[in-house]
Amino acid sequence: DGGITQSPKYLFRKEGQNVTLSCEQNLNHDAMYWYRQDPGQGLRLIYYSQIVNDFQKGDIAEGYSVSREKKESFPLTVTSAQKNPTAFYLCASRKGTEAFFGQGTRLTVV
Amino acid sequence: GESVGLHLPTLSVQEGDNSIINCAYSNSASDYFIWYKQESGKGPQFIIDIRSNMDKRQGQRVTVLLNKTVKHLSLQIAATQPGDSAVYFCAENLPPSKIIFGSGTRLSIRP
């Protein structure tokens, strides 16, 4: 089935460690996005990519990094510089006006 | 800065009644607006969108209204059902591709 896959669903890391969240899509979409969602809050844009080998910072990019070496993949690295990394992370790809979301990765840093 | 916000954080509606969820936006450059539904622990699902050159668009049991004069967006859900219980987000697209979300409204349905 076509779709967007985030893995893993739950992730635990020790404070000070970098961690990479996976996002893969087989929808042939050019644009991809990463959002962060805190409990009871909306989605805040971390990074987005309109096309392979190109990406732009969103509103809360500090402490995060991304790459877009392949159309299908848009991994997000949460670095040790991110002050409060525990959150629900959502990846999306877009066709036209519709964004398709993965099921999210819940990251807990202890 | 750029922002999309909502008037009501929670909304309780009697089953069978119509629901109206409101949203204010601040960026006049946005070229389209989208409503999403998010169920607990899941990613948001697209409901309906509307381009900035339109003022109304209808889908199945949903209608979105756009008032650019006051920068206001609303989602109307007809004959609200238990399955409509979720958090609803409005979002705006800043050209070419930056999609910004609002803070969300939780819709709960009374039997």
Beta bridge partners of A73: A24, A70
Per-residue pLDDT, B9? 85
Mutation target among A23, A32, A37, A43 for the B interface, most CBs of B within 10 A = A43
The Cα of A98 is separated from the nearest Cα of chain B by a number of Å equal to 7
Res. A77 pLDDT band, cuts 50 70 90: very high
From chain A, the residues in CB contact with B104 under 8 A are 41-42
What does the pLDDT average to over A45-63? 97
pLDDT digits (tens, 9 = 90+) for B62-104: 999 999 999 999 999 999 999 999 999 999 999 999 999 987 8
User: Does B43 contact chain A (CB < 8 Å)?
Assistant: yes
From chain A, the residues in CB contact with B93 under 8 A are 97
Partner residue facing A48 (CB), from B42, B98, B104:
B98
Per-residue pLDDT, A1? 54
From chain B, the residues in CB contact with A104 under 8 A are 41-43
Q: What is the mean pLDDT of chain B?
A: 91
Per-residue pLDDT, B83? 96
Phi, psi of B84 (to 5 degrees): -80, -10
Contact A105, A35 (CB under 8 A): no
What does the pLDDT average to over A85-97? 94
Residue contact B46–A42, C-beta within 8 A = no
User: Does B10 contact chain A (CB < 8 Å)?
Assistant: no
The β-bridge relationship of strands A105-109 and A10-13 is: parallel
pLDDT above 70: residue B42: yes
Per-residue pLDDT, B67? 96
The Cα of A72 is separated from the nearest Cα of chain B by a number of Å equal to 18
Res. B40 pLDDT band, cuts 50 70 90: confident
Per-residue pLDDT, B7? 43
Q: Residue A19 has which token pair?
A: 């961690």
Q: What is the mean pLDDT of chain A?
A: 94
What does the pLDDT average to over A57-86? 96
Per-residue pLDDT, B102? 87
From chain B, the residues in CB contact with A102 under 8 A are 43
Res. B26 pLDDT band, cuts 50 70 90: confident
Per-residue pLDDT, B24? 92
User: Does B47 contact chain A (CB < 8 Å)?
Assistant: no
Contact B93, B99 (CB under 8 A): yes
CA distance B49 to B25: 15
